[in-house]
């Protein structure tokens, strides 16, 4: 399998498959493909797996894309401004991602749901209790909003992060939520009541533009509907 990521703000992923090679994505994830690619949509792993995927921000149904002859191509487009990240699961083993980050992967990569272990992180961690977990071997691709900054934390090293900016992290990274100290910071700081603490060892991926912030900025410029007493 060969691939190429193109673009800057709204990126696309073009994958080249040889006969017999395949990958999968959530239903509706494909943008365009050559006519020698066979699609097979199914509830991968059965009903329970489908329900778990739905809670993790993906479709209950997944689509397999199989090259039937020669060399085929298939293209996926990012759903929002940001970056497409390639993950070599043979090296990283497991990755925890925010909901709806998964784009596509080889059949040897497993997509599953994972719960935050700590109550505080689940209640106030920006994405709730439910996250995505990628594991296995092979290539996987995820989409992250905005620009991406990577940190490799040493053992005991930590950083404090606004919760919405956490895109991915290795499972060995300790994730916790702490109250912001100081009444002035809480009232006037604009950061809310909580910050996430990520403590190494392990790698984390941070995003510069969480979708919630983007949606809020766009909503501010959407005119209210006309009509009513003041319309």
Residue stretches of the chain with pLDDT short of 70:
44-60, 116-129, 179-193, 223-231
Whole-number pLDDT of residue 231: 45
Whole-number pLDDT of residue 188: 40
pLDDT digits 0-9 by tens, 168-227: 999 999 988 776 654 444 444 444 557 889 999 999 999 998 887 777 778 888 866 665
Spell out the domain ranges in the chain.
2-220
Residues 6 or more apart whose Cβ sits within 8 Å of residue 187: none
Whole-number pLDDT of residue 117: 54
Whole-number pLDDT of residue 225: 61
Whole-number pLDDT of residue 141: 97
Whole-number pLDDT of residue 27: 76
* Inter-CA distances, 204 with 62, 197, 207, Å: 27, 12, 10
Whole-number pLDDT of residue 130: 74
Give the number of residues written for the chain: 231
Residues 140 and 107: their CA atoms lie apart, in Å, by 9
pTM, full prediction: 0.81
* Inter-CA distances, 91 with 95, 96, 110, 136, 182, Å: 11, 14, 15, 10, 42
Whole-number pLDDT of residue 193: 59
Whole-number pLDDT of residue 124: 46
Of 3.40.50.720, 3.40.50.2300, 3.60.160.10, 3.50.50.60, the CATH number of 2-220 is 3.60.160.10
Q: Is the separation of the CB atoms in 185 and 229 below 8 Å?
A: no
């Amino acid at each position: 399998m060969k691939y190429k990521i193109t673009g800057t703000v709204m990126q696309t992923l073009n994958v080249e498959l040889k006969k017999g090679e395949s990958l999968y994505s959530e239903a509706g994830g494909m943008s365009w493909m050559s006519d020698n690619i066979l699609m097979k949509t199914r509830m991968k792993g059965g009903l329970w797996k489908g329900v778990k995927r739905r809670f993790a921000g993906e479709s209950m149904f997944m689509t397999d894309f199989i090259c039937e002859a020669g060399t085929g191509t298939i293209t996926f487009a990012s759903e929002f401004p940001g970056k497409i990240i390639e993950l070599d699961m043979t090296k990283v083993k497991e990755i925890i991602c925010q909901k709806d980050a998964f784009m596509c992967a080889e059949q040897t990569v497993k997509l599953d749901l994972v719960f935050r272990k700590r109550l505080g992180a689940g209640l106030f961690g920006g994405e709730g209790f439910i996250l995505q977990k990628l594991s296995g071997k092979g290539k996987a691709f995820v989409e992250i909003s905005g620009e991406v900054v990577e940190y490799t934390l040493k053992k005991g090293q930590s950083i404090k992060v606004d919760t919405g900016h956490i895109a991915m992290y290795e499972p060995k990274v300790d994730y916790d939520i702490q109250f912001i100290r100081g009444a002035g910071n809480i009232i006037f700081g604009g950061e809310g009541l909580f910050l996430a603490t990520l403590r190494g060892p392990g790698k984390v991926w941070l995003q510069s533009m969480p979708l919630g912030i983007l949606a809020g900025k766009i909503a501010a410029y959407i005119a209210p509907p006309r009509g009513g007493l003041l319309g």
